[in-house]
Structure 1
Amino acid sequence: MATESRAVEFDIDGKKRVFDIDDPKLPDWVDDNDITAGGYPYKKRMDKGEYKDTLEALQVQIVNMHTHMQETGKRLIAVFEGRDAAGKGGSISVLHEFLNPRTARNVALSKPSDVERGQWYFQRYIEHFPTTGELVSFDRSWYNRGGVEPVMGFCTPEQHKAFLHDTPEFEKMIVEEGIIFFKFWLNIGLETQLKRFHDRRHSPVKYWKLSGIDIVGMQKWDDYTLARDTMIQATHSSHAPWTVIRMNDKRRGRIEVLRHILRNTDYEGKDTDAIGSPDPKIIGSGPMALEEL
């Protein structure tokens, strides 16, 4: 019995390109451009040794920051958003790696239950907000309604419009409550995503990461781009800004995630030399960053 082809055609620089995720051979046009896709400014990944040393120094500071939070009762939320395979899980992993799991946790919610669908949209997320001394990250968040849901038809246009209107006020309440709040959009190029999808599809240990929605989403790159731009434009604010990080190279991206949190959080024993300065080629803020990065 023949199986249905999952090949997708892309128009790249005026050329028709075909990508078949079930073909074990990765096309050259993907393999040759997975780092430089979308105008990424570096041609090679960050040196592994440099990455390891820089990451370790930042993780020491993250532990110090978290210790200070527990001593002072500070609360922190970090929201991680981005296309599928953008590097959310890996960024969250290096953030939490050496933290006390009793007071540092990650939230990755499945689709809402029938009960949750009848509640105020933000309600099921609020249940996971931090208490005294806690750091909470969200691997996807209420921003599902800003991206996946409208693109895949999981919400109505009216619900999407209401979400974009309500979210800045919702996040203003979070900040006014005294919670330290970060929003990260992890940005990748088309070929970068396709290579990561292909790696997952043909890996004996990572194949489960590739979902049916991912396959459908490959054909909706432009739709997701429009939803992303609309979402960031409507929900970027002075009290809850979007931080955009280019993640074609996961190493550089993870470094900038940790560095940004540390540079924008006050804590005892803060070592600014160890934290270092941001790379403006990799990190930016708000809608302009999507154009400039």
Structure 2
Amino acid sequence: MKNIKRKKYEEALEGLQNQLIDLQHWIVSTGQRVVVIFEGRDAAGKGGVIKAIEGQLNNRYVRIVALPKPNDRQSSQWYFQRYVEQLPSAGELVLFDRSWYNRAGVETVMGFCTQAQYRQFLLDCPVFERLITQDGLILIKYWLSVDQEEQEQRFVERATDPAKRWKLSPIDIKAREQYAEYGKARDAMLKATNSSCAPWFVVNFNDQKRGRLNLIDHLLKQLPKRAPPSPALPMPKLAGKPLEEKIPRGFLVKETY
């Protein structure tokens, strides 16, 4: 399948983002608590789709969570504890750029946890998710799929483009050789943690633009309710002539452009 053209992509994205705004009005007005988890291979496109979802929303009611490596104190806590702290309050949408599923992916493949910890996670995770969803939280989980050849092209692009080099970590480079092992870990994770209260959805991200559109469209269908935006406010005319902004001398930044 050919990659989607930019103009078609931008037109489709604008329509979906307008629907996301109406969705956010529903979340806020009804006090919903919504979590969307984005997992997938390195360079699959998690950051791009999260930005596309968050872009036009009111940032008072949407949060992106991308937690760093746990410190020594966090490592001694109950595994889910630092993620629980990030769960939404009423009227809030939280987008997890990776999540507690780190243990079922990078941690087990790269040897950052013990096999006992990994097996315990696969047992505990469905229970944890059942508890939070029974309390009323809406949980939606996506896995972004990308072929190894496409992944390699994105790695090369990140390695050679100074503006994208920060996206490539030493762990990413080391993990390149573990493509098959990540696939096996993914399959075990999907089998063990797919449930009626928190099912997994896999989205093809070999074409990132097409993948974003398909994922956002699917997300909107999982949350079909909408609330219309507030009506336009009347703007009475100013009394008198508009005033010019007068800045005290010495404070104004010199204009370069």
TM-score when normalising by structure 1: 0.76
- 1:244-277 per-position Cα deviation (integer Å, ceiling 9, x unaligned): 000000111101111111111132358xxxxxxx
Deviation, structure 1 residue 205: 0.8
Which amino acid letter does the alignment assign opposite residue 159 of structure 1? Q
Deviation, structure 1 residue 69: 1.0
Q: For 1:142 and 1:247, how far apart are their aligned partners in 2?
A: 22
Q: Count the aligned residue pairs.
A: 228
What corresponds to 2:200 in structure 1? 242
**Share of identical aligned residues, percent?**
48
From 134, 139, 142, give the equivalent of 1:181: 139
Deviation, structure 1 residue 103: 1.0
Deviation, structure 1 residue 189: 0.1
What corresponds to 2:82 in structure 1? 124
Query: Is 1:114 matched up with 2:64?
Result: no
From 21, 24, 32, give the equivalent of 1:63: 21
Which amino acid letter does the alignment assign opposite residue 103 of structure 2? R
Deviation, structure 1 residue 51: 1.1
What corresponds to 1:19 in structure 2? none
Deviation, structure 1 residue 52: 1.0
From 124, 128, 146, give the equivalent of 2:104: 146
Which amino acid letter does the alignment assign opposite residue 217 of structure 1? A
Query: Is 1:254 matched up with 2:212?
Result: yes
Which protein has greater RCO, CA pairs closer than 8 Å, 6+ apart?
A: 2
What corresponds to 1:45 in structure 2? 3
Which is higher, the Rg of structure 1 or of structure 2? 2
**What is the aligned-residue RMSD (CA, Å)?**
1.0
- 1:151-180 per-position Cα deviation (integer Å, ceiling 9, x unaligned): 110000000000001111111112111111
Query: Is 1:267 matched up with 2:221?
Result: no
- Structure 2 contact 126–193 (Cα < 8 Å) conserved: yes
Which amino acid letter does the alignment assign opposite residue 158 of structure 1? A
From 26, 45, 66, give the equivalent of 1:87: 45
Query: Is 1:218 matched up with 2:176?
Result: yes
| 1:220 aligned counterpart, secondary structure | helix
Gapped regions of structure 1 (runs ≥ 5): 1-41, 271-293
- Structure 2 contact 25–226 (Cα < 8 Å) conserved: no
Q: For 2:81 and 2:203, how far apart are their aligned partners in 1?
A: 28
- Structure 2 contact 29–227 (Cα < 8 Å) conserved: no
- Structure 2 contact 16–217 (Cα < 8 Å) conserved: yes
Q: For 2:224 and 2:167, how far apart are their aligned partners in 1?
A: 36
Which amino acid letter does the alignment assign opposite residue 211 of structure 1? S
From 89, 95, 103, give the equivalent of 2:61: 103
What corresponds to 1:30 in structure 2? none
